[in-house]
Amino acid sequence: MPIKDRRIDRFKVYSRRAAILAGFKGLLVSGLVARMYYLQVIESDRYQMLAEENRISVRLLAPLRGLIVDRFGRVLAANRADYRAYLIPEQTRSVDDTLDALSRIIPLSRDDHQRIRRAVQRQRAFLPVTVAANLSWTDFARINLASPDLPGVQPDVGSTRYYPHGPLVAHLIGYVGAPGEDEVGRDPLLQLPGFKVGRNGIERTFDSQLRGQAGNMKVEVNAVGRVIRELERKNAVQGSTVQLTIDFELQRYAADRLAGESGSVVVVDVKTGEILALVSVPAFDPNDFNLGISRTKWQSLLADKRKPLINKAVAGQYPPGSTFKMAVALAALEAGVIKPDHKVACWGKKELGNHTFHCWKREGHGVLDLVNAIQHSCDIYFYDIADRVGIDRIAEMARRLGLGSAPDLPIPAVASGLVPSPGWKLATQGVRWQRGETWVAGIGQGYITATPLQLAVMTARIANGAHAISPVLTVTPRSGEAIDKAPAPLNISRAALDVVREGMARVTTHPRGTAYAARITDDGYAMAGKTGTAQVRRITKAEREAGVRKNEEKPWEERDHALFVGYGPIEDPRYAVAVVVEHGGSGSRTAAPIARDVLLKAMRANSAAAPVDKLPEQPTLTPERGVDV
Q: What residues are annotated to the active site?
A: 322
Q: Residue 312 has what DSSP assignment?
A: H
Is the separation of the CB atoms in 322 and 444 below 8 Å? yes
Distances in Å between the alpha carbon of 299 and those of 163, 302, 352, 516? 22, 5, 48, 43
Give the C-alpha separation, 73 to 244, whole Å: 9
Residue 216, amino acid:
N
In angstroms, rounded to a whole number, what is the distance separating the alpha carbons of residues 445 and 232? Answer: 68
DSSP code of residue 318: B
Residues 6+ apart with CB under 8 A from 388: 332, 337, 338
**Which residues are CB-contacts of 439 (< 8 A; sequence separation ≥ 6)?**
352, 357, 383, 386, 387
- What one-character-per-residue DSSP string does 128-193 give? -EEEE-S--HHHHHHHHHHGGGSTTEEEEEEEEEE-TTGGGGHHHH--EEPPPTTTGGG-GGGGST
Give which of 127, 95, 128 is closest to 113, Cα–Cα. Answer: 95
* Residues in Cβ contact with 86 at an 8 Å cutoff, skipping those fewer than 6 apart: 128, 129, 130, 131, 153, 154, 156, 193
- Contact yes or no for 94/246 (Cβ under 8 A): no
Assign residue 559 a region: left if phi > 0, alpha if psi is -120 to 50, beta otherwise? beta
| Nearest Cα to Cα of residue 383 among 297, 449, 322 | 322
What's the CA gap between 158 and 372, in Å, rounded? 64
Instruction: Please report, for residues 89, 110, 131, 294, 511, the alpha-carbon distance to residue 117 in angstroms, rounded to integers and kept in the order given.
Output: 10, 11, 10, 20, 71
> In the Cβ-directed half-sphere of 176, how many Cα atoms lie within 13 Å?
25
Closest CA to 372 of 564, 513, 218: 513
Distances (CA, A) of 538 to 23, 119, 438: 112, 54, 16
CA distance 219 to 228: 7
DSSP state at residue 292: -
DSSP-assigned beta bridge partners for residue 161: 79
Q: How far apart are CA 367 and CA 579, in angstroms?
A: 30
Task: Name the helix (H) or strand (E) containing 68.
Answer: strand 68-69
User: Rounded distance, CA 266 to CA 528, Å?
Assistant: 16
- The gap from C-alpha 299 to its chain's centroid, in whole angstroms, comes to 21
Q: Which long-range contacts (CB under 8 A, 24 or more apart) does 368-371 make?
A: 368/343, 368/344, 369/340, 369/341, 369/342, 369/343, 370/329, 370/333, 370/338, 370/340, 370/341, 370/342, 370/499, 370/503, 371/340, 371/499, 371/502, 371/503, 371/506
